[in-house]
C-alpha cells in the first residue's frame, strides 16, 4: 500500500518533467532560435521586403552581421518600392557606416525603387536583374480631401489651431496656395537629401544625379547605363561576388538571420497597432514617402 503513493509521486514528477521539456521545445520553435554553428567564413543575407515602414529589425540584423567575425561580407537583398522617409534614411546611414569596414553588396530583386534604391546607394557594389524596376528618385506626397463628401452627408469639421499652417494638408478643407508652397518646400528639401545621398553613395556629381532624379523608373539594364547599378546578376551572383570581395576562398557559406517566430498574442497586438496607426495616418490626409506610385 505504501508503494502506491511513491509510484504515483514518481509518475507525476516524470509527467511534469516531460511537460516542461515539451514546453521548452515548443517555445523554441515558436520564438525561433539563432543558427548555432557557422562552419566557415560566410556571407550574411539581410532581406528588405515590401514597404519600408520601420528600420529597427533591419538595423539589428545589419549590426549582428557586422559584429560577427565569421561573417566576412553582407548582401542586402532588396524587394521594395520604398516607404517612409525616416526609416529609409536610418537604414541608408547604417549601410553606409558598415560598408566602410565590411563589404556590403546590394542585390535587387523584382523592384528596388525610390526608398528601395535609396538604401542600396551606399553599398560597396549594386547588382540588379536586367528587368529589375529601380530608380524612381523622388519624393511623393499624397493629400486627400473629403470636404465635398462631408458636405453631402451633412457633416462639418471645426479645427482650432495655434498657427495658420498647423493643419496644412488637412482632408477637411481646401488647400490654399500658401499651404501648397509650404508643403512643396518640404518635398524639395527631402528631394535634395535624396539626390545628395545617391551622389555620395554612388560617388557621382550631384548635378549628374539631379539630371535623372525626376521620379522616372529604370530597368536594371537602363540603371547600369545611368551608373545607378554596377553589375547585372541575380542573388547568387551577388553572394559569390561578396565572398570574393571579402577574400573568401571557394563558395561562401550563406548565413541568414535567425527566424523570429512570434506568439499569436504578439501578432495580434502588432496587427492592432498597425491598423490604428494606419487609420491615424489616413485621417491626417497627408503622407510623405520615398515611395514609387503604383506599388
Residue 239 domain-assigned (yes or no): yes
Residue 7 domain-assigned (yes or no): no
Residue 160 domain-assigned (yes or no): yes
Number of H helices, E strands in the chain: 10, 11
Degrees, nearest 5: CA angle 213-215-217: 100
Q: What is the mean pLDDT of the chain?
A: 84
pLDDT at 111: 97
Residue 22 domain-assigned (yes or no): no
CB 136 within 8 A of CB 292: yes
pLDDT at 132: 97
CB 201 within 8 A of CB 99: no
CB 84 within 8 A of CB 56: no
34 pLDDT band (50/70/90 cuts)? very low
270 pLDDT band (50/70/90 cuts)? low
pLDDT at 224: 97
Q: Of 166, 260, 262, 281, which one is the catalytic site residue?
A: 166
CB 80 within 8 A of CB 47: no
Residue 1 domain-assigned (yes or no): no
Q: CATH number of the domain at 181, please.
A: 3.90.226.10
38 pLDDT band (50/70/90 cuts)? low
- Percent of the chain whose pLDDT exceeds 90: 59
More confident residue, 148 or 264: 148
Pick the range with the lowest mean pLDDT from 108-117, 148-157, 193-202, 203-212: 148-157
| Rounded (10°) angle between helices 85-99 and 177-202 | 20
Number of domains in the chain: 1
Distance separating alpha carbons of residues 64 and 16, to the nearest angstrom: 37
Active site (annotated) includes residue 29: no
Residue 26 domain-assigned (yes or no): no
CA 55, 58, 59, 63: dihedral to nearest 10 degrees? Answer: 170
Active site (annotated) includes residue 162: no
21 pLDDT band (50/70/90 cuts)? low
> What does DSSP assign to residue 235?
H
Residue 205 domain-assigned (yes or no): yes
Residue 193 host element (H or E): helix 177-202
pLDDT at 6: 52
pLDDT at 282: 45
> What does DSSP assign to residue 122?
T
CA proximity to 229, closest of 294, 137, 140, 293: 137
**Structural domain boundaries enclosing 197:** 38-291
Pick the range with the lowest mean pLDDT from 143-152, 178-187, 237-246: 143-152
Q: Of 80, 114, 136, 170, which one is the catalytic site residue?
A: 114
- Percent of the chain whose pLDDT exceeds 70: 76
Cβ neighbourhood burial of 91 (10 Å; 0-12, 13-18, 19+): buried
Residue 155 domain-assigned (yes or no): yes
pLDDT tens for 70-101 read 999 999 999 999 999 999 999 999 999 999 99
As beta bridge partners, residue 82 has 291
25 pLDDT band (50/70/90 cuts)? low
φ, ψ for residue 107, nearest 5 deg: -125, 115
Alpha carbon 143 to chain centroid distance?
Answer: 24
pLDDT tens for 231-269 read 999 999 999 999 999 999 888 999 999 876 555 555 555
Q: Which residue carries 496587427 as its cell?
A: 271
Pairing outcome for strands 42-49 and 71-80: parallel
Amino acid at each position: 500500500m505504501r508503494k502506491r503513493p511513491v509510484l504515483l509521486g514518481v509518475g507525476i514528477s516524470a509527467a511534469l518533467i516531460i511537460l516542461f521539456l515539451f514546453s521548452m521545445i515548443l517555445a523554441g520553435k515558436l520564438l525561433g532560435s539563432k543558427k548555432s554553428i557557422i562552419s566557415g567564413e560566410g556571407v550574411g543575407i539581410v532581406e528588405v521586403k515590401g514597404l519600408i515602414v520601420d528600420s529597427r529589425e533591419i538595423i539589428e540584423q545589419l549590426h549582428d552581421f557586422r559584429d560577427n567575425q565569421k561573417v566576412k561580407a553582407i548582401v542586402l537583398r532588396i524587394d521594395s518600392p520604398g516607404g517612409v522617409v525616416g526609416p529609409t534614411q536610418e537604414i541608408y546611414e547604417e549601410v553606409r557606416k558598415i560598408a566602410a569596414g565590411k563589404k556590403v553588396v546590394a542585390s535587387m530583386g523584382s523592384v528596388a525603387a525610390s526608398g528601395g534604391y535609396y538604401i542600396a546607394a551606399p553599398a560597396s557594389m549594386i547588382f540588379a536583374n536586367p528587368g529589375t524596376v529601380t530608380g524612381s528618385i523622388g519624393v511623393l506626397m499624397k493629400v486627400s480631401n473629403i470636404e465635398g463628401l462631408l458636405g453631402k452627408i451633412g457633416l462639418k469639421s471645426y479645427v482650432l489651431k495655434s498657427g495658420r499652417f498647423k493643419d496644412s494638408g488637412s482632408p477637411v478643407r481646401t488647400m490654399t496656395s500658401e499651404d501648397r508652397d509650404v508643403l512643396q518646400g518640404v518635398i524639395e528639401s527631402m528631394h535634395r537629401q535624396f539626390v545628395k545621398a545617391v551622389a555620395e553613395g554612388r560617388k557621382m556629381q550631384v548635378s549628374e544625379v539631379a539630371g535623372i532624379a525626376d521620379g522616372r523608373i529604370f530597368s536594371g539594364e537602363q540603371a547600369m547605363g545611368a551608373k545607378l547599378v554596377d553589375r547585372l546578376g541575380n542573388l547568387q551572383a551577388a553572394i559569390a561576388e561578396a565572398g570574393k570581395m571579402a577574400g573568401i576562398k571557394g563558395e561562401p557559406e550563406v548565413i541568414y538571420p535567425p527566424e523570429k517566430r512570434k506568439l499569436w498574442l504578439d501578432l495580434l497586438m502588432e496587427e492592432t497597432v498597425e491598423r490604428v496607426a494606419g487609420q491615424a495616418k489616413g485621417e491626417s490626409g497627408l503622407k510623405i514617402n520615398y515611395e514609387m506610385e503604383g506599388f
